[in-house]
Amino acid sequence: MTDDGKPTLGIGMVGYSFMGAAHSQAWRNAPSFFDVPVVPVLRALGGRNAEAAGEVASRFGWESVETDWRQLVARDDVGLVDVCTPGDTHAEIAIAALEAGKHVLCEKPLANSVEEAEAMVAAAEKAAESGVRSLVGFTYRRVPAIALARRLVADGRIGRIYHVRAQYLQDWISDPEAPLSWRLQKDRAGSGALGDIGAHIVDLTQHITGERITGVSAMLETFVKERPLPSSSSGLSGTVSEGGQRGPVTVDDAAVFLARFTGGALATFEATRFASGRKNAIRIEINGSKGSLAFDFEDMNVLHVHDHTVDPGLGGFRRVLVTEPSHPYVEGWWPPGHLLGYEHAFTHQAVDLLTAIAAGTDPAPSFADGLGVQRVLAAVERSAAANSTWTEVPGT
C-alpha cells in the first residue's frame, strides 16, 4: 500500500533498450499525471547484460536487475511482467508469466507466427479465468488524435466507410551499408517492415473503423540482400565489423498490399523502411459516406476532419488540434495547445492497463486482437509468395 492507502503492483520488465526506455518512463509517469487506482512499483529490470541493464535501471529507478527472465517471473514481488524483447522470445516469456499468475504487457507484434500467437491467446484466456489480465502493446491506439478518430467513426460521423489508406514510412535502413541488426533476421524478428511497422497500421485501421480485414493481395520486397556484419562489441547493431564480412537479410524491406474490410471498404497499405526522408510517417485516411478523417503522425496532435453533409461552400477538411480537456487522455496533461509527444501514448497504455486490472476487466487490445493482426500478416506473406494471389484472412 502507498501512504494514501492505494494498492501497489510490482512491475518486472524484460528488455531495456528502445522499448524498455519508453515503457520505463511510462510506468514512472502514470501515477504522476493520472489518478491511477493501482500504483506501479518498478521492482526488477531483466537483461542478459548486467552492466547495461544496471545502467538503465539506475536512470529510471528500477530497484534491481535480473539477468535471467525466469528468475524475474518467479519473484513474489513482481505482479506484472512487461515483455520488451525481440519477437522470438515473446511467446515463451509471456506464457510463463501468465501461468505463474502474473499480468502481462507484451510488445507488438504479439509473436513471430500465428501458431505462437494462438498459444499465447490460449494461455491468456486460461489465466483470465483467475483474474489475470494481458495486453498487447499497440501503443499508437493511445495517441489522442487516433482515439478521437475512433470515437468519431463509432459515433457515425463519417457514415459508411468506403476507403481506407494507410502508410508507415521510415528510412533508417535505406543506406545499403547500414549494419545488419536483429530486426533484419527472420528468426529473431519474424518479418521485416511488414511485422515491425506494418502491424501498427493493420491494427490502427481495424481499431479506428471497428472492422476487420477479410482478405489481401500483397507484394514484399527485399532491396538489399546482404549487409555488413556489426562489430562484436555492438551486437547486431551499431558499428560495422572490420574485415568486410557480410550477412544475409532474411526479411522484407517493404510491403504493399490491397485489402478489403468486413463492411466492404477497399484499402491500400504500404510499409517500408526505404522511404528516404521519412523518419516515422504514419498516415491514415478514411473516406465515408458522410465525411473523411486524415491523420499523419509527423503532426500527431492534429486530426483532419471533413463533414460531407455541410454546404459545399463551407466544406473541406478542418484542422482539429487535439489538445482540449474533452479529448481522449488530454485531461491528465497540459493546458490546450501544449502539445503531447511520442512517449505520452506509453503512459496512457500503462494507465489503461492499471485501470483494467483494478476494475477486473479485460484491457484492449487483447492477445486475441494481436492474434488477429498476426493472421493478417501471415495472409500477406502467403499472398506475396503466391504472386499476389488474393488470400483470405482466417477468422473473419
According to the 3-state scheme, what is the secondary structure of 37-89? Answer: CCEEEEEEEECCCHHHHHHHHHHHCCCEEECCHHHHHHCCCCCEEEECCCHHH
Alpha carbon dihedral 143, 147, 153, 155, in 10-degree steps, equals: -160
- What are the start and end residues of each CATH 3.40.50.720 domain in the chain? 8-139
CA R_g for the chain: 21
Q: Which residues fall within 8 angstroms of residue 44, CB to CB, at 6 or more apart? A: 10, 11, 12, 13, 62, 63, 64, 65, 66, 72, 75, 77, 78
Q: How many CB atoms lie within 10 A of CB 244?
A: 8
Which amino acid, one-letter code, is at 42? Answer: L
pLDDT at 4: 80
CATH fold of 8-139, please?
Rossmann fold (3.40.50)
- What are the start and end residues of each CATH 3.30.360.10 domain in the chain? 143-391
- Burial (CB < 10 A; 0-12, 13-18, 19+), residue 309, is exposed
Q: Where are the beta strands (DSSP E) in the chain?
A: 8-14, 39-46, 64-66, 80-83, 103-107, 134-137, 161-169, 213-221, 226-228, 246-248, 254-261, 266-272, 281-288, 291-296, 302-307, 317-321, 391-392
Of 172, 255, 175, the residue nearest 218 (C-alpha): 255
Cα 287 to Cα 309: distance, rounded to the nearest angstrom: 13
Q: Quick one: CA dihedral 48, 234, 105, 114, positive or negative?
A: negative
By the 8 A CB rule, do 38 and 354 touch?
yes
This prediction's pTM? 0.95
Cα 124 to Cα 96: distance, rounded to the nearest angstrom: 11
Name the stretches of the chain with pLDDT < 70: 232-243
For domain 143-391, give the CATH superfamily: Dihydrodipicolinate Reductase; domain 2 (3.30.360.10)
Q: Quick one: CA dihedral 53, 56, 60, 61, positive or negative?
A: positive
Roughly how many angstroms between the first and final C-alpha of the chain, as a whole number? 44
Which amino acid, one-letter code, is at 174? Answer: S
pLDDT at 55: 97
Residue where the block lists cell 486524415 = 294
What three-state secondary structure class fits 189? helix
Cα 283 to Cα 42: distance, rounded to the nearest angstrom: 35
What is the DSSP code string of 260-301?
Answer: EETTS-EEEEEEES--TT-SSEEEEEEEESSEEEEEEGGGTT
Query: Which strand ranges, in their side-by-side order, compose the sheet holding 39-46?
Result: 64-66, 39-46, 8-14, 80-83, 103-107, 134-137
